[in-house]
């Protein structure tokens, strides 16, 4: 059997040698003709590609950079016919593939120059380079190109994305900022560097928490995102399952997809903070307005149809804090009856729902909510509890930040700054206010009510971190079965939202566990503990303040003393020492331009205090 195999291999190699010999003769004749014709004026001179810029986290930790990669090719007319069989065997062993595959590639191509493998690393090609240095492997070419490496492996993989052929971005930041990173049109040795808003330390810790939670709950996927509520900067962007961008080709497309921005779903009871905020802000209820939550929302339509939306339990009379603490469907439904369909619809949309955030993938999903003209008699109370509306995780965290920061919807961002190879800053994140969605008083009332949800009498008590005031809301959303188009009895999304510290909000964290198949599917039982671990990490890593935690068990509004917001009259005041939170209302001014750069407190301003304010005046505030 061995003799037969060897003979067969020799015959196959002989055929290949003959074919290469014939091809070489043809190429020789063609080259001779080309020599007589002179140079090809249409030929493009080969240029060395510019090194791609780096991607770094907000603190300068490198998350992506270029290293030398090598493409392996063959020039058929330059091979040594007496050594081609041996050379192919050497190449095959080095690459760890069958020599027959290489032979087939050569045979199938009608070109003289044929690529056999691409984007090989230095360690792989080093043995081949050594043989070439000794004059071996005639006709084989090692072409050095720039290749991408992600030193932290899976870290923030869905945000970073990856590069493909020609080192061009295919997904994520690599795709969205491809022109910036590649240095297109620049004479610099390297493209521009992109600094992300995420903190790699927080990202790593939250990924570890998410990976364990997904495994413990046997879930299909998991989202976790953290945002600076006063700037709109994304601090952590976590999605499971994840992938390694260094070897992205070995992962399924579903694992590489940025579901944080393309996957829409019904959010469930977490959405009650937005529906109740809308109704409260319209002045249709107060924090002390009571509703009879005796086990279900009940309503008889003019047609005689009965609408019934059940609660898990009968809770009796509940106010705003009680409705959020117990996550009462009845309470939210009855509250929604006080608002017209058109106003309820417009207020929900003002939080950014049904609109793309602008920071997701090119295929970002805007979510959906039918116009009131298409609503049924049960749509309004159903939307109030987080059904019949589809959202993305990015929309949820962005809307939550508006509730947390005093009522201003901010434009979210994942890029902190862009700098060229010499360190010159080409772009710096500025906080951009989109619009005011609720008043500061409504914001404080909702945050106070959410603290009740985090108390021992609320559904979110498992999310509480000791000695930190936290605003919490849990949710358990029944998913729609794709086949039956009805709500599934087995598939749910368990979620929890946290805002901390509640007395001076700085960070919002949202957790959603998709299709858990473990011991529970309730958000308060499985998502809340995940939020607690994430909040503990955020407090430690970001240096958030700790203090005595207020465990609320009240039925009214807790008044929180806050510094007065900044105002600008006919002259520019001295804004030194003002916090970003105090400055946010200034961003809503349409008669002047206010730009906030950095985080912390104002340390520098332009123009100086006392300058007359006119229409179009541009005021730049630098924070530290």
Give residue-wise pLDDT tens across range 310-329.
Answer: 999 999 999 999 999 999 99
Contacts of 234 (CB under 8 A, 6+ apart): 159, 197, 198, 225, 226, 227, 359, 397, 412, 413, 414
254 and 355 in a single domain? The answer is yes
Q: So what's the pLDDT on residue 11? A: 53
Reply yes or no on whether the pLDDT at 9 is more than 80.
Answer: no
pLDDT-based confidence at residue 49 (cuts at 50, 70, 90): low
234 and 106 in a single domain? The answer is no
Give residue-wise pLDDT tens across range 331-376.
Answer: 999 999 999 999 999 999 999 999 999 998 888 999 999 999 999 9
Reply yes or no on whether the pLDDT at 41 is more than 50.
Answer: no
516 and 614 in a single domain? The answer is no
Contacts of 355 (CB under 8 A, 6+ apart): 349, 366, 395
In a domain, 306, yes or no: yes
**Number of domain units in the chain:** 3
Q: So what's the pLDDT on residue 562? A: 57
State mean pLDDT over 380-407.
Answer: 97
In a domain, 564, yes or no: no
Q: So what's the pLDDT on residue 456? A: 80
Q: Are strands 62-75 and 113-120 parallel, antiparallel or unpaired?
A: antiparallel
In a domain, 180, yes or no: no
Reply yes or no on whether the pLDDT at 581 is more than 90.
Answer: no
The rounded distance, in Å, linking the Cα atoms of 235 and 241 is 19
State mean pLDDT over 248-252.
Answer: 92
469 and 356 in a single domain? The answer is yes
Reply yes or no on whether the pLDDT at 269 is more than 80.
Answer: yes
Q: So what's the pLDDT on residue 564? A: 77
With contact defined as beta carbons under 8 Å apart, do 64 and 170 qualify? no
Backbone φ and ψ of 384, nearest 5° = -60, -25
Give residue-wise pLDDT tens across range 525-549.
Answer: 999 999 999 999 999 999 998 875 4
Q: So what's the pLDDT on residue 32? A: 37
Backbone φ and ψ of 316, nearest 5° = 80, -150
Q: So what's the pLDDT on residue 46? A: 43
398 and 279 in a single domain? The answer is yes
Q: So what's the pLDDT on residue 43? A: 33
DSSP element (H, E) containing 618: strand 618-623
CATH code: domain of residue 129: 3.90.1310.10
Q: So what's the pLDDT on residue 48? A: 58
Q: So what's the pLDDT on residue 558? A: 40
In a domain, 471, yes or no: yes
Reply yes or no on whether the pLDDT at 178 is more than 60.
Answer: yes
Which range, of 49-63, 105-119, 214-228, 258-272, averages the lowest pLDDT? Answer: 105-119
Residue-level length of the chain:
624
With contact defined as beta carbons under 8 Å apart, do 511 and 495 qualify? yes
The rounded distance, in Å, linking the Cα atoms of 169 and 167 is 7
Q: So what's the pLDDT on residue 227? A: 98
309 and 441 in a single domain? The answer is yes
Which range, of 22-31, 67-76, 419-428, averages the lowest pLDDT? Answer: 22-31
Half-sphere exposure of 192 (CA within 13 A, CB side): 21
pLDDT-based confidence at residue 477 (cuts at 50, 70, 90): very high
Q: So what's the pLDDT on residue 44? A: 33
Half-sphere exposure of 267 (CA within 13 A, CB side): 33
pLDDT-based confidence at residue 34 (cuts at 50, 70, 90): very low
In a domain, 360, yes or no: yes
The rounded distance, in Å, linking the Cα atoms of 124 and 109 is 25
280 and 376 in a single domain? The answer is yes
pLDDT-based confidence at residue 37 (cuts at 50, 70, 90): very low
Reply yes or no on whether the pLDDT at 4 is more than 80.
Answer: no
347 and 215 in a single domain? The answer is yes
Reply yes or no on whether the pLDDT at 403 is more than 80.
Answer: yes
In a domain, 552, yes or no: no
In a domain, 402, yes or no: yes
In a domain, 423, yes or no: yes
Q: So what's the pLDDT on residue 28? A: 42
Q: So what's the pLDDT on residue 336? A: 98
In this prediction the pTM is: 0.81
State mean pLDDT over 552-573.
Answer: 64
Question: C-alpha angle 282/286/292, rounded to 5°?
Answer: 115
Reply yes or no on whether the pLDDT at 77 is more than 50.
Answer: yes
CATH code: domain of residue 267: 3.40.710.10
Last residue of a domain, one of 542, 571, 588: 542
Last residue of a domain, one of 542, 571, 603: 542
State mean pLDDT over 103-123.
Answer: 87
State mean pLDDT over 415-431.
Answer: 95
526 and 584 in a single domain? The answer is no
299 and 391 in a single domain? The answer is yes
State mean pLDDT over 2-16.
Answer: 50
349 and 274 in a single domain? The answer is yes
Rounded to the nearest integer, the mean pLDDT of the chain is 88
Nearest Cα to Cα of residue 387 among 299, 508, 488, 457: 488
464 and 373 in a single domain? The answer is yes
Last residue of a domain, one of 514, 542, 570: 542
Q: Is the peptide bond before 607 cis (omega within 30 degrees of 0)?
A: yes
DSSP element (H, E) containing 117: strand 113-120
Q: What residues make up the domain containing 612?
A: 580-623
Instruction: Of 155-164, 483-492, 594-603, give the range with the top mean pLDDT.
Output: 155-164
């Amino acid at each position: 059997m061995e003799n037969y195999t060897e003979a067969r291999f020799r015959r196959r190699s002989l055929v290949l040698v003959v074919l290469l010999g014939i091809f070489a003769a043809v190429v020789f004749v063609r080259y001779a003709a080309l020599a007589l014709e002179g140079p090809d004026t249409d030929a493009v001179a080969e240029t060395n590609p510019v090194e791609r810029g780096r991607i770094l986290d907000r603190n300068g930790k490198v998350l992506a950079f270029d290293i030398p990669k090598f493409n392996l090719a063959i020039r058929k007319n330059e091979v040594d016919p007496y050594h081609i069989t041996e050379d192919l065997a050497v190449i095959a062993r080095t690459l760890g593939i069958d020599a027959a595959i290489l032979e087939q590639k050569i045979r199938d191509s009608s070109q003289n120059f044929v690529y056999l493998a691409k984007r090989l690393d230095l360690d792989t090609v080093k043995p081949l380079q050594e043989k070439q240095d000794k004059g071996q492997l005639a006709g084989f070419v090692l072409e050095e190109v720039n290749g991408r490496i992600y030193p932290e492996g899976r870290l923030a993989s869905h945000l970073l994305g990856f590069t493909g052929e020609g080192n061009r971005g295919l997904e994520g930041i690599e795709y969205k900022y491809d022109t910036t990173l590649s240095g297109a049109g620049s004479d610099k040795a390297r493209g521009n560097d992109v600094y992300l808003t995420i903190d790699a330390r927080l990202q790593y810790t939250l990924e570890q928490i998410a990976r364990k939670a997904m495994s413990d709950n046997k879930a299909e996927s998991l989202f976790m995102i953290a945002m600076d509520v006063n700037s709109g900067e994304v601090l952590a962007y976590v999605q499971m399952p994840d992938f390694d961008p260094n070897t992205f080709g070995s992962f399924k497309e579903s694992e590489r997809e940025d579901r944080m921005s393309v996957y829409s779903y019904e959010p469930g009871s977490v959405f009650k903070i937005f529906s109740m905020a809308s109704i409260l802000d319209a002045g249709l209820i107060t924090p002390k307005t009571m509703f009879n939550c005796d086990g279900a929302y009940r309503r008889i339509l003019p047609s005689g149809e009965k609408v019934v939306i059940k609660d898990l339990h009968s809770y009796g009379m509940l106010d705003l804090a009680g409705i959020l603490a117990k996550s009462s469907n009845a309470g939210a439904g009855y509250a929604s009856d006080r608002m017209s369909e058109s106003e309820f619809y417009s207020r929900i949309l003002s939080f950014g729902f049904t609109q793309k955030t602008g920071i997701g993938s090119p295929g970002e999903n805007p979510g959906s909510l039918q116009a009131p003209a298409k609503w049924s008699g049960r749509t309004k109370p159903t939307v109030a509890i987080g059904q019949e509306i589809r959202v993305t995780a990015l929309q949820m965290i962005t809307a939550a930040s508006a509730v947390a920061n005093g009522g201003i919807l901010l434009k979210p961002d994942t890029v902190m700054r862009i700098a060229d190879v010499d360190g010159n800053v080409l772009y710096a994140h500025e906080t951009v206010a989109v619009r005011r969605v609720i008043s500061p008083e409504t914001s404080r009332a909702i945050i106070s009510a959410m603290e009740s949800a985090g108390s021992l009498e609320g559904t979110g008590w498992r999310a509480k971190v000791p000695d930190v005031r936290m605003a919490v809301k849990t949710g358990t959303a029944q998913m729609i079965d794709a086949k039956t188009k009805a709500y599934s009895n087995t598939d749910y999304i368990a979620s929890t939202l946290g805002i901390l510290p509640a007395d001076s909000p700085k960070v919002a964290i949202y957790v959603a566990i998709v299709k858990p198949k473990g011991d529970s599917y309730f958000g308060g039982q499985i998502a809340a503990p995940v939020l607690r671990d994430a909040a503990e990490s955020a407090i430690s890593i970001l240096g958030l303040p700790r203090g005595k935690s207020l465990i609320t068990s009240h039925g009214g509004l807790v008044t929180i003393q806050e510094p007065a917001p900044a105002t600008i009259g006919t002259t520019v005041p001295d804004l030194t020492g003002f916090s970003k939170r105090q400055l946010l209302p200034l961003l809503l001014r349409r008669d002047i331009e206010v730009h906030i750069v950095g985080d912390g407190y104002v340390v520098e301003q332009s123009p100086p205090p006392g300058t007359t304010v006119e229409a179009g005046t541009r005021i730049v505030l630098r924070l530290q």
